[in-house]
Amino acid sequence: MATPSSPFAFLAELFDKASSRLQPPAWAIHEIQHRTVLFLNHVLQQEPEAQARLKRQQGQVVEARWRGIFIRLVATPAGLLDLAPEGATPDLTLSITQENPLELAQAAMLGDKPMVRIVGDVQLAAEVNWLVDHVRWDVEDDLARVIGDVPAHAIGNAARRMVAGLRQFVDKAARKGPAATKSDAE
Protein backbone atom coordinates (compact mmCIF):
# COMPACT_ATOMS: atom_id res chain seq x y z
CA MET A 1 0.00 0.00 0.00
CA ALA A 2 1.20 3.54 -0.67
CA THR A 3 2.49 5.58 2.23
CA PRO A 4 0.09 8.18 3.67
CA SER A 5 2.32 11.00 2.42
CA SER A 6 2.30 9.63 -1.14
CA PRO A 7 0.43 11.82 -3.61
CA PHE A 8 -0.99 8.64 -5.13
CA ALA A 9 -2.20 7.09 -1.87
CA PHE A 10 -5.80 7.89 -2.82
CA LEU A 11 -5.47 6.06 -6.16
CA ALA A 12 -3.88 3.02 -4.51
CA GLU A 13 -6.66 2.90 -1.93
CA LEU A 14 -9.30 3.25 -4.65
CA PHE A 15 -7.73 0.41 -6.66
CA ASP A 16 -7.64 -1.83 -3.57
CA LYS A 17 -11.31 -1.22 -2.79
CA ALA A 18 -12.43 -1.68 -6.40
CA SER A 19 -10.43 -4.85 -6.96
CA SER A 20 -11.73 -6.45 -3.77
CA ARG A 21 -15.36 -5.76 -4.71
CA LEU A 22 -15.38 -6.10 -8.49
CA GLN A 23 -14.57 -9.51 -9.90
CA PRO A 24 -14.81 -10.05 -13.67
CA PRO A 25 -16.94 -12.97 -14.87
CA ALA A 26 -15.19 -16.28 -15.60
CA TRP A 27 -15.68 -15.92 -19.36
CA ALA A 28 -13.86 -12.55 -19.32
CA ILE A 29 -10.93 -13.97 -17.36
CA HIS A 30 -10.72 -16.91 -19.75
CA GLU A 31 -10.80 -14.59 -22.78
CA ILE A 32 -8.09 -12.33 -21.34
CA GLN A 33 -5.92 -15.37 -20.65
CA HIS A 34 -6.36 -16.60 -24.24
CA ARG A 35 -5.48 -13.16 -25.63
CA THR A 36 -2.41 -13.07 -23.38
CA VAL A 37 -1.26 -16.45 -24.74
CA LEU A 38 -1.78 -15.26 -28.33
CA PHE A 39 0.26 -12.12 -27.65
CA LEU A 40 3.07 -14.02 -25.89
CA ASN A 41 3.26 -16.53 -28.75
CA HIS A 42 3.37 -13.69 -31.29
CA VAL A 43 6.39 -12.24 -29.47
CA LEU A 44 8.04 -15.66 -29.01
CA GLN A 45 7.71 -16.43 -32.74
CA GLN A 46 10.03 -13.50 -33.44
CA GLU A 47 12.78 -15.10 -31.29
CA PRO A 48 14.02 -18.53 -32.49
CA GLU A 49 16.32 -18.91 -29.46
CA ALA A 50 13.35 -18.38 -27.11
CA GLN A 51 11.36 -21.05 -28.92
CA ALA A 52 14.30 -23.47 -28.74
CA ARG A 53 14.56 -22.91 -24.98
CA LEU A 54 10.82 -23.47 -24.52
CA LYS A 55 10.95 -26.68 -26.60
CA ARG A 56 13.38 -28.09 -24.03
CA GLN A 57 10.78 -27.33 -21.33
CA GLN A 58 7.77 -28.80 -23.14
CA GLY A 59 5.04 -30.02 -20.83
CA GLN A 60 6.29 -27.90 -17.93
CA VAL A 61 3.65 -25.71 -16.28
CA VAL A 62 4.39 -22.20 -15.02
CA GLU A 63 1.95 -20.32 -12.86
CA ALA A 64 2.25 -16.53 -12.63
CA ARG A 65 0.39 -14.79 -9.77
CA TRP A 66 -0.27 -11.23 -8.70
CA ARG A 67 -2.77 -10.56 -5.96
CA GLY A 68 -5.82 -12.68 -6.85
CA ILE A 69 -4.93 -12.90 -10.54
CA PHE A 70 -3.14 -15.91 -11.96
CA ILE A 71 -2.43 -17.66 -15.22
CA ARG A 72 -1.04 -21.16 -15.77
CA LEU A 73 0.93 -21.69 -18.96
CA VAL A 74 2.39 -24.85 -20.42
CA ALA A 75 5.32 -25.04 -22.85
CA THR A 76 4.34 -26.78 -26.11
CA PRO A 77 6.46 -29.03 -28.35
CA ALA A 78 6.58 -26.13 -30.85
CA GLY A 79 8.36 -23.93 -28.33
CA LEU A 80 5.32 -21.77 -27.70
CA LEU A 81 2.87 -21.42 -24.82
CA ASP A 82 -0.66 -22.60 -24.20
CA LEU A 83 -3.04 -22.40 -21.27
CA ALA A 84 -2.43 -25.32 -18.95
CA PRO A 85 -5.33 -27.71 -18.48
CA GLU A 86 -7.63 -27.09 -15.49
CA GLY A 87 -6.16 -28.53 -12.34
CA ALA A 88 -2.62 -28.84 -13.75
CA THR A 89 0.00 -28.73 -11.02
CA PRO A 90 2.55 -25.99 -11.69
CA ASP A 91 6.22 -26.99 -11.90
CA LEU A 92 7.11 -23.37 -11.18
CA THR A 93 5.12 -20.66 -9.39
CA LEU A 94 6.09 -17.02 -9.77
CA SER A 95 4.30 -14.70 -7.35
CA ILE A 96 4.77 -10.96 -7.68
CA THR A 97 5.11 -9.79 -4.09
CA GLN A 98 4.58 -6.10 -4.73
CA GLU A 99 0.89 -5.53 -3.98
CA ASN A 100 0.53 -1.85 -4.89
CA PRO A 101 -0.16 -1.42 -8.63
CA LEU A 102 1.19 2.14 -8.64
CA GLU A 103 4.50 1.07 -7.08
CA LEU A 104 4.63 -1.78 -9.58
CA ALA A 105 4.06 0.64 -12.47
CA GLN A 106 6.69 3.02 -11.07
CA ALA A 107 9.24 0.20 -10.86
CA ALA A 108 8.41 -0.83 -14.44
CA MET A 109 8.86 2.76 -15.64
CA LEU A 110 12.30 2.79 -14.02
CA GLY A 111 13.13 -0.46 -15.81
CA ASP A 112 13.21 -2.50 -12.59
CA LYS A 113 11.86 -6.02 -12.35
CA PRO A 114 9.19 -6.57 -9.71
CA MET A 115 10.00 -8.53 -6.58
CA VAL A 116 9.03 -12.16 -7.23
CA ARG A 117 8.76 -15.18 -4.95
CA ILE A 118 9.87 -18.27 -6.87
CA VAL A 119 8.77 -21.77 -5.90
CA GLY A 120 9.59 -24.87 -7.94
CA ASP A 121 11.92 -26.11 -10.67
CA VAL A 122 15.19 -24.15 -10.67
CA GLN A 123 16.06 -24.93 -14.31
CA LEU A 124 12.64 -23.81 -15.49
CA ALA A 125 13.00 -20.64 -13.40
CA ALA A 126 16.34 -19.95 -15.12
CA GLU A 127 14.73 -20.36 -18.55
CA VAL A 128 11.85 -18.05 -17.64
CA ASN A 129 14.37 -15.50 -16.34
CA TRP A 130 16.28 -15.71 -19.65
CA LEU A 131 13.04 -15.11 -21.56
CA VAL A 132 12.19 -12.09 -19.42
CA ASP A 133 15.68 -10.65 -19.89
CA HIS A 134 16.07 -11.29 -23.63
CA VAL A 135 12.70 -11.39 -25.38
CA ARG A 136 11.20 -8.04 -26.39
CA TRP A 137 8.19 -7.13 -28.47
CA ASP A 138 9.21 -5.21 -31.57
CA VAL A 139 6.23 -2.87 -31.68
CA GLU A 140 7.70 -0.78 -34.46
CA ASP A 141 8.08 -3.82 -36.74
CA ASP A 142 4.46 -4.88 -36.16
CA LEU A 143 3.25 -1.33 -36.72
CA ALA A 144 5.28 -1.12 -39.96
CA ARG A 145 3.35 -4.10 -41.34
CA VAL A 146 0.14 -2.11 -40.93
CA ILE A 147 1.06 1.50 -41.77
CA GLY A 148 4.46 1.26 -43.46
CA ASP A 149 8.08 1.71 -42.37
CA VAL A 150 8.39 5.50 -42.32
CA PRO A 151 5.27 6.30 -40.26
CA ALA A 152 6.03 3.38 -37.91
CA HIS A 153 9.57 4.66 -37.38
CA ALA A 154 8.27 8.18 -36.65
CA ILE A 155 5.72 6.86 -34.14
CA GLY A 156 8.42 4.65 -32.60
CA ASN A 157 10.76 7.60 -32.14
CA ALA A 158 8.00 9.70 -30.56
CA ALA A 159 7.06 6.86 -28.23
CA ARG A 160 10.71 6.33 -27.18
CA ARG A 161 11.07 10.06 -26.40
CA MET A 162 7.84 9.99 -24.39
CA VAL A 163 8.92 6.90 -22.42
CA ALA A 164 12.34 8.46 -21.76
CA GLY A 165 10.64 11.60 -20.44
CA LEU A 166 8.32 9.57 -18.22
CA ARG A 167 11.26 7.55 -16.87
CA GLN A 168 13.13 10.76 -16.12
CA PHE A 169 10.10 12.18 -14.29
CA VAL A 170 9.53 8.97 -12.29
CA ASP A 171 13.23 8.69 -11.45
CA LYS A 172 13.34 12.31 -10.28
CA ALA A 173 10.20 11.84 -8.18
CA ALA A 174 11.56 8.61 -6.69
CA ARG A 175 14.87 10.25 -5.71
CA LYS A 176 13.14 13.19 -4.05
CA GLY A 177 10.73 11.04 -2.08
CA PRO A 178 7.04 11.54 -1.29
CA ALA A 179 7.48 14.74 0.75
CA ALA A 180 9.46 16.47 -2.01
CA THR A 181 6.97 15.33 -4.66
CA LYS A 182 4.13 16.85 -2.64
CA SER A 183 5.91 20.21 -2.34
CA ASP A 184 6.73 20.18 -6.06
CA ALA A 185 3.03 19.77 -6.88
CA GLU A 186 2.06 22.87 -4.85
pLDDT at 3 over 80: no
Q: How far apart are CA 142 and CA 139, in angstroms?
A: 5
Going by C-alpha positions, the residue among 65, 62, 55, 71 that lies closest to residue 120 is 62
pLDDT at 131 over 80: yes
Burial class of residue 65, CB neighbours in 10 A (0-12, 13-18, 19+):
middle
Which tens digit of pLDDT belongs to each residue from 145-167? 888 888 888 888 888 888 778 77
DSSP alpha helices (H): ranges in 45-148? 48-55, 101-109, 122-134, 139-147
pLDDT at 52 over 80: yes
Question: Where exactly are the structural domains of the chain?
Answer: 1-136, 138-186
Q: Can you give the pLDDT at residue 19?
A: 62
Q: How far apart are CA 150 and CA 102, in angstroms?
A: 35
What's the whole-model pTM score? 0.68
Q: Mean pLDDT over all residues of the chain?
A: 82
Q: Which fold has domain 1-136?
A: Nonspecific Lipid-transfer Protein; Chain A (3.30.1050)
CB-CB contact of 134 with 67 (8 Å): no
CB-CB contact of 84 with 59 (8 Å): no
